[in-house]
Structure 1
Amino acid sequence: MNDVMKRNNVKVMGEGEQTIIFAHGFGCDQSMWQYIAPKLAESYRIILFDYVGSGNSDITAYQSEKYSTLHGYKQDVLDIIEGMDLQHILFIGHSISSMIGMLAAIERPDYFDKLIMIAPSPCYLNDTDGYVGGFEQSDIKELLAMMEMNFAGWASYLAPLAMDQSKDSKLTKELESSFVTTDSRVAKEFAEVTFFSDYRSSLPLVKVPTLIIQCSKDSIVPIEVGEYLNKHLQNSTLQIIDARGHYPHISQPLETSKIIIDYLMN
């Protein structure tokens, strides 16, 4: 258990009876929850962690083969749950972590009471069947090539796009700093796993009630994706925030917190 706590830099806050696990997205770490975790810690026990290769996790535990699919990251989540003997979990995942939490809940639905997905996507690529994911294959290949050639340049390009704020805004600078301090090899491999993943076929397998939170204008995940998820997850609720960007828990923390608390109280 201590190995898992150290490996994933697990932190615990709050005294509530029920546990919320916060799972960060690609290129980030647990610090991304700083704007909403303290509010939720007033009523819940909060578990924060970093995926292996992110933040202050144990980078020596990173194995390219293990983390070549989301199932490696899913195992990180299950290891924490089992190591801490957690039950009746409320899982809050941002972006690709929504799918990681979904896979964990499909494997062990008995662990989870509710899933909350912030800016989620089961597939980032547009498909010939009419599915709108937001990106073409060529877009992703260009992004990965940029990461390979100029990692800092990639971070300064993607951060204002994802945050949908000016390059000089405080929140954009925070995000860029998070991107650029991630190990470049790990970041590129995580990006490949994220942007080329397609978990649409797994959606009907989810039995856990799910809240989908989406910004009305998200440059990474189009609104059609939130609508697609709401249609294909059997027990889901879609809440759209009238805001821009891919990080409402950072740019709109009060509204995001309220939506989460209202959902959990029902």
Structure 2
Amino acid sequence: MSIQHRNNVLCHGDGAATVMLVHGYGCDQHMWRFIYPALARRYKVVLLDLVGCGESHLGAYDRDKYATLHGHAEDMLDVISLYATGPVFFVGHSVGATIGMLASIVAPEKFAAHIMIGPSPCYINDGDYVGGFNPEDIDGVLQLLDADYLEWARRMAPVIMGAPAQPHLSAELKARFERNDRDIARHFGRVTFTSDHRADVPKCTVPSLILQCSDDLIAPREVGDYLHRHLPASKLAAITNTGHCPHLSEPDVSYRLISSYMEEILA
């Protein structure tokens, strides 16, 4: 099976540097539609769907390979090797940011920089670490995911999207969730929400920009502060936004921060 077919890879633009845009849990490359056209005027833009999501090849979803996020990180290195030209900027949203971080630890020479949108190395509170959810909260999310996936989508879409002034975005996210293969979504959800990659954070030496929303129930400000303290060569920028998806609800601000950081790295 080709990598293009496996990950539904699409490329736009022909700049000397490459921007890879990688979505979060349950989403797909369509989530970048407000940002990628402007990026493609200056860079080569690589869009993809994580295996098991969007228009990826669902038959390629191996539960053993994707039992951890390392399986997806391996896929990202495949895509870079085949499609990237020049310096590579990895723009990852939510769990996509963690996947990119893991890939860069394996092959840091392949990355110019990361841009992490709403990242979280661990969603579960642990001692002094604030991940946003108590263990029983995550248990409840996963129990609902297993018992009634459509109800999970109905409840979680507005929590994840936020953007109360733009209810169409929550409706869009709910519809996206509903199109997913439910068995894969349950498996990937458990991997996503129970993963703990705090020990990996200091191993990432690639320059990184952390984009943190001001009011995000999925990745609260404390998570951005934690990453900034422990992630070498990192910068932290705040976006005034309610929700976890500023590339949809505040795309102009998100684009400006992303593009200015890349210009800074390339200067």
TM bucket (normalised to shorter chain) is over 0.9
> Which secondary structure state, in structure 1, belongs to the residue aligned with residue 244 of structure 2?
coil
Preserved contact between residue 207 and residue 235 of structure 1 (Cα < 8 Å): yes
> Which secondary structure state, in structure 1, belongs to the residue aligned with residue 4 of structure 2?
helix
1:30 & 1:85 partners in 2: Cα distance?
17
Matched, 1:46 2:45: yes
1:168 & 1:259 partners in 2: Cα distance?
22
Deviation track 1:225-244 (CA, whole Å, cap 9, x = no partner) reads: 00000000110000001111
Query: 1:26 aligns to what?
Result: 25
Preserved contact between residue 167 and residue 173 of structure 1 (Cα < 8 Å): no
Which residue identity does 2:184 align to in structure 1?
Answer: V
Which residue identity does 1:96 align to in structure 2?
Answer: V
Query: 1:17 aligns to what?
Result: 16
Query: 2:121 aligns to what?
Result: 122
2:46 & 2:166 partners in 1: Cα distance?
31
2:52 & 2:198 partners in 1: Cα distance?
26
> Which secondary structure state, in structure 1, belongs to the residue aligned with residue 112 of structure 2?
strand
Query: 2:179 aligns to what?
Result: 181
Which residue identity does 1:18 align to in structure 2?
Answer: A
> Which secondary structure state, in structure 2, belongs to the residue aligned with residue 31 of structure 1?
helix
TM-score (norm 1): 0.96
Preserved contact between residue 46 and residue 83 of structure 2 (Cα < 8 Å): no
CA pair 200-109 structure 1, distance change in 2 beyond 3 A: same
Preserved contact between residue 21 and residue 91 of structure 1 (Cα < 8 Å): yes
2:86 & 2:184 partners in 1: Cα distance?
31
Structure 1 residue 178: Cα displacement: 1.0
Deviates more, 1:74-83 or 1:238-247: 74-83
> Which secondary structure state, in structure 2, belongs to the residue aligned with residue 93 of structure 1?
strand
Query: 1:253 aligns to what?
Result: 251
Which residue identity does 2:172 align to in structure 1?
Answer: E
Query: 2:75 aligns to what?
Result: 76
Moved over 4 A (4+): none
Deviation track 1:135-186 (CA, whole Å, cap 9, x = no partner) reads: 1111111111111221111101000111114498110111111111111111
1:39 & 1:209 partners in 2: Cα distance?
23
> Which secondary structure state, in structure 2, belongs to the residue aligned with residue 238 of structure 1?
strand
1:84 & 1:165 partners in 2: Cα distance?
34
2:16 & 2:3 partners in 1: Cα distance?
22
Preserved contact between residue 86 and residue 111 of structure 1 (Cα < 8 Å): no
Query: 2:3 aligns to what?
Result: 4
Preserved contact between residue 219 and residue 245 of structure 1 (Cα < 8 Å): yes
Matched, 1:132 2:145: no
1:168 & 1:116 partners in 2: Cα distance?
25
Deviation track 1:48-86 (CA, whole Å, cap 9, x = no partner) reads: 001111000110111111100000110110111123364
Matched, 1:237 2:235: yes
Which residue identity does 2:93 align to in structure 1?
Answer: H
Deviates more, 1:43-52 or 1:77-86: 77-86
Which residue identity does 1:208 align to in structure 2?
Answer: V
1:94 & 1:41 partners in 2: Cα distance?
18
2:226 & 2:83 partners in 1: Cα distance?
34
Query: 1:89 aligns to what?
Result: 88
Query: 1:106 aligns to what?
Result: 105
CA pair 140-51 structure 1, distance change in 2 beyond 3 A: same
TM-score (norm 2): 0.96
Over the residues paired in the alignment, what is the CA RMSD in angstroms?
Answer: 1.3
Number of residue-to-residue matches in the alignment? 264
2:47 & 2:73 partners in 1: Cα distance?
15
In structure 2, the gaps of 5 or more residues are none
2:200 & 2:143 partners in 1: Cα distance?
29
Query: 1:197 aligns to what?
Result: 195
